[in-house]
Structure 1
Amino acid sequence: MTATTPPLTVPGDKSIAHRALLLAALARGASRLRNLPAGLDVRSTQRVLRALGVAMREDGGALVVTGSGGALVAPPEPLDCGNSGTTIRLLSGVLATRALVATLDGDASLRARPMRRIAQPLTGFGARFELSKYGTAPFVLHGNGEARGAQVEITVPSAQVKSAVLLAALGAHGPTRLTGALATRDHTERLFRAFGISCAADDGALLVEGPQVPRACDVDVPGDVSSAAFLLAAAAAVPGARAVVDGVGLNPTRTAFFEVLRRFGAEVDVLTTDASAEPRGRVDVRGAALRAIVIEPDEVPGLIDELPLVGVLGAFARGTTVVTGAAELRVKESDRIETFARAARALGAEVETFGDGFAVHGPARWRSGSVVTAGDHRIAMAFSVAARAAGISVVLDDPDCMAVSFPGFAHALERVA
């Protein structure tokens, strides 16, 4: 690797794209969405919205979504959410307060993910869920078109659960008040403002007076900071290496990984170039000899997508890197604690696991080998980073799974210098 590299770009932010699509679909008028990621997850959201009668067309590099004004059409077939947990959970919120019945389903990985955490708060609006006996998809959702506002306490620190309730509140009559574990990604609240939706913060709660119909608007989606993290980590792990990513989202609820890189010992410079509702800018990382860190439970919600990457960096660091309070990793696209540990051990790293996290004893004595990804895009990308930074050969059993969030990731990784 050399000491310099030209700026890199990453696909549009998945979290923002899903939410922008859903709000544009509910809006009155036509919204232009630019820089939508081409990954499979966002395509799943587009597919289910079309099945609900929402018209979309490509125009000059943007996707024009003609809003339904909230008048969605009952789908004749099950809504296939693919591998996307965000799609199935946020869509459940939208449909919970609409007068229709829909079956929501997905691939084998999605069928293994817990859905009671979504169903429980949404039943407060009078929606009814027929979950599988395991509390998973496929399930039938009976929306309540006469829903009243609800008092909802969020017990799981999950932006998906919070967002599902906020989206349900748009179709309910009267006030909805959310309390509890709200300190998670705030893309939904920010996009509410962009689409003209009133959502007030009051004494640690969120208040939405329904019903409200979004006002169509244009959204330019910033680069996905969680995707950028993999490229930045590849440089951080190699002294003298450098990666620069332009146009990346800098939402404060998503940038905790930059501080993690600094704690590991990397040099990180962040320049905000656009301070709009969803700020964006340039991130410049220079590699160094890394030292072990500890991730505390209260840090986990802001790092949930990057924790496998934290584990990989821990294998390059001197000392023991520990992550706790991360039991949520066990119900992602795979059991990310065990999938990470098995893959790391296969390549020579020393890893301990426990119920809510893992410990990595570094630095690893890396060796070439094969990695079982369990079809999990973040595991595949994390160990592609390990291969690049360690200079070893790694065979992924399912490299195509990276297309879920970052088509072309392997090529982008090769450009990290």
Structure 2
Amino acid sequence: MRITITQTEKMEGTIQVPGDKSISHRSIMLGALAQGVTRIEGFLMAEDCLSTVRCFRTLGVPITMEGKSVRVEGRGLYGLQEPEDVLDVGNSGTTIRLMMGILAGQPFTSFLTGDPSIRRRPMGRVAKPLREMGANIVGRQNGNLAPLAVQGGNLKPISYKTPVASAQIKSSILLAGLYAPGWTEVIEPEQSRNHSELMLKAFGAEIETDGPAVRVKGGAQLKGQQVQVPGDISSAAFFMVAGLIVPQGKIVIENVGLNPTRDGILEVLQAMGGKIRLFDTRVVAGELIGNIEIQSSELRGVSIGGAIIPRLIDEIPVLAVAAAFAEGVTEIHDAAELKVKESNRLYAISEGLTRLGAQIEELPDGLRIIGGKPLKGNVCQSYHDHRIAMALAVAGLRAEGETHIEDGEAVNISFPEFTQLISQLQKV
């Protein structure tokens, strides 16, 4: 499917973005491991999260859906069934890495695979600590690439320092820690998003946090919960940037998750001069939620790196788009992790924006963008990556003529309503 975007002068209106992908994944996983029923409202009905649903159904967990509501009949920590088939995670890195932690604690063998993108992504960073805990994990390249076999059971607690700040590594170890006696600890170089810790605590696990260190006590009896999934700030980011760069932009995005481990995009866009206002903020089940108002702004270049990067790692492609329309130079460092996402996102966004006429350079660990160059519509590649497709679509809103993004169906991985909302805001 090709996405076609036409240059526009005005985007105005009030929208809601789909439920948070990270929270949607985790609500299914913890609901499955809990005793009793978990009811989830606002669940993200997109391909990645539906892959998690399919995997747990294959493990014997009854899950029913109606609209954006999901009912999970929990089976407890030891109630999962040995799967009769391979668990296919599709395109979801969150599913495969967090499932590895859960399956490491099970007294049976499981097999995990995914689409070609997943089979290229590194899994050794998760397999290594899980092996230290006692799981047997084998796969291509000594367990670094899927397909993977996980033979679990008889885990022991560890204290593990992660090589990078990664919520997926941390969460996988914490989930495995539920099956190990005593305390399992994860120490990150910088704190990554903390949805797993918040939700584990809400479901009844014993969790201790100390800066970048998190500990979980094994053997908890998790209890089914009511979960309200807020709007995904990573999805909202595309419309935040759209509202800032379009000459007549005024957009309100309602009920967005504003978790402080995820709000780096707000901080950076405001530092660039973006007119962004938060209102009606409140805390729901441990998560900060609020509305975001965005207005057209004259942006300026910034330099970012270090501790803020884990707080906006998924938003860097669309942040590069904002930088292309900002005066001056923007430099992004410490983001080499983007090379091993659904695509090499540093290359993919550089190549796409270059096609549109932007002056952008890929650095070993980031990007350098000289803003203020006029863009012109062209044909761009999504590289089957949802965030690249949507970022280039946002750039197309300010590029002369039409911008075409190939393999645009990738947006269905996280944001099936994306193009519909673009059209809605253009027609107001």
Give how far 1:159 is off. 0.6
Give how far 1:46 is off. 0.3
Q: Which one-letter code corresponds to 2:100 in the other structure?
A: S
Task: State which of 115, 118, 127 in structure 1 corresponds to 2:123.
Answer: 115
SS across alignment from 2:362: strand
Task: State which of 253, 259, 269 in structure 1 corresponds to 2:267.
Answer: 259
Question: Percent of counterpart pairs with the same letter?
Answer: 38
Contact 1:253 1:302 in 2 (8 A): yes
The RMSD of aligned alpha carbons is 1.6
Contact 1:117 1:156 in 2 (8 A): no
* Equivalent residue, structure 2, for 1:355: 364
Residue 17 of structure 1 pairs with residue 24 of structure 2: yes
Contact 1:172 1:211 in 2 (8 A): yes
Contact 2:43 2:229 in 1 (8 A): yes
Higher RCO (CA 8 Å, separation ≥ 6 residues): 2
* Equivalent residue, structure 2, for 1:318: 327
SS across alignment from 1:137: strand
1:70-120 C-alpha deviation (Å, 9 max, x unpaired): 211111111100000000001111111111111110001111110001001
* Equivalent residue, structure 2, for 1:337: 346
Worse overlay, 195-204 or 126-135: 195-204
Rounded Cα–Cα distance in structure 2 between residues aligned with 1:392 and 1:49: 46
Residue 300 of structure 1 pairs with residue 309 of structure 2: yes
Give how far 1:161 is off. 0.5
* Equivalent residue, structure 2, for 1:5: 12
Give the 3 Å change call, closer, same or farther, for CA 317–278 of structure 1 in structure 2.
same
| Matched pairs, number | 416
Contact 1:373 1:380 in 2 (8 A): yes
Rounded Cα–Cα distance in structure 2 between residues aligned with 1:391 and 1:213: 58
1:154-207 C-alpha deviation (Å, 9 max, x unpaired): 222001100111111111122212223350100011101211111012475322
1:186-238 C-alpha deviation (Å, 9 max, x unpaired): 00111012111110124753222211131111101000110000011101112
Contact 2:242 2:394 in 1 (8 A): yes
Worse overlay, 318-327 or 19-28: 318-327
* Equivalent residue, structure 2, for 1:178: 186
SS across alignment from 1:171: coil
Contact 2:377 2:399 in 1 (8 A): no
Residue pairs, 1:227-306, within 5 angstroms: 227-276=235-284, 277-306=286-315
Contact 2:9 2:247 in 1 (8 A): no
* Equivalent residue, structure 2, for 1:92: 100
Give how far 1:403 is off. 0.5
* Equivalent residue, structure 2, for 1:383: 392
Rounded Cα–Cα distance in structure 2 between residues aligned with 1:370 and 1:202: 48
1:274-328 C-alpha deviation (Å, 9 max, x unpaired): 2131121100011112111111233211110000111111111111111111100
Residue 128 of structure 1 pairs with residue 129 of structure 2: no
Rounded Cα–Cα distance in structure 1 between residues aligned with 2:123 and 2:254: 36
Contact 1:246 1:282 in 2 (8 A): yes
Contact 1:185 1:302 in 2 (8 A): yes
Task: State which of 83, 86, 93 in structure 2 corresponds to 1:75.
Answer: 83
Worse overlay, 284-293 or 43-52: 284-293
Residue pairs, 1:151-190, within 5 angstroms: 151-181=159-189, 183-190=191-198
Worse overlay, 334-343 or 58-67: 58-67
Q: Which runs of 5+ in 1 are unaligned?
A: none
Give the 3 Å change call, closer, same or farther, for CA 61–329 of structure 1 in structure 2.
closer
Rounded Cα–Cα distance in structure 2 between residues aligned with 1:140 and 1:344: 39
Rounded Cα–Cα distance in structure 2 between residues aligned with 1:61 and 1:257: 27
Task: State which of 318, 327, 334 in structure 1 corresponds to 2:336.
Answer: 327
1:343-396 C-alpha deviation (Å, 9 max, x unpaired): 111111111112111111121221111111110000000010011133531111
* Equivalent residue, structure 2, for 1:222: 230
* Equivalent residue, structure 1, for 2:59: 52
SS across alignment from 2:178: helix
Q: Which one-letter code corresponds to 1:125 in the other structure?
A: M
Contact 1:235 1:416 in 2 (8 A): no
Rounded Cα–Cα distance in structure 2 between residues aligned with 1:303 and 1:59: 32
* Equivalent residue, structure 2, for 1:43: 50
Q: TM-score, normalising length from structure 1?
A: 0.96
Contact 1:272 1:279 in 2 (8 A): no
Q: TM-score, normalising length from structure 2?
A: 0.94
Residue 408 of structure 1 pairs with residue 417 of structure 2: yes
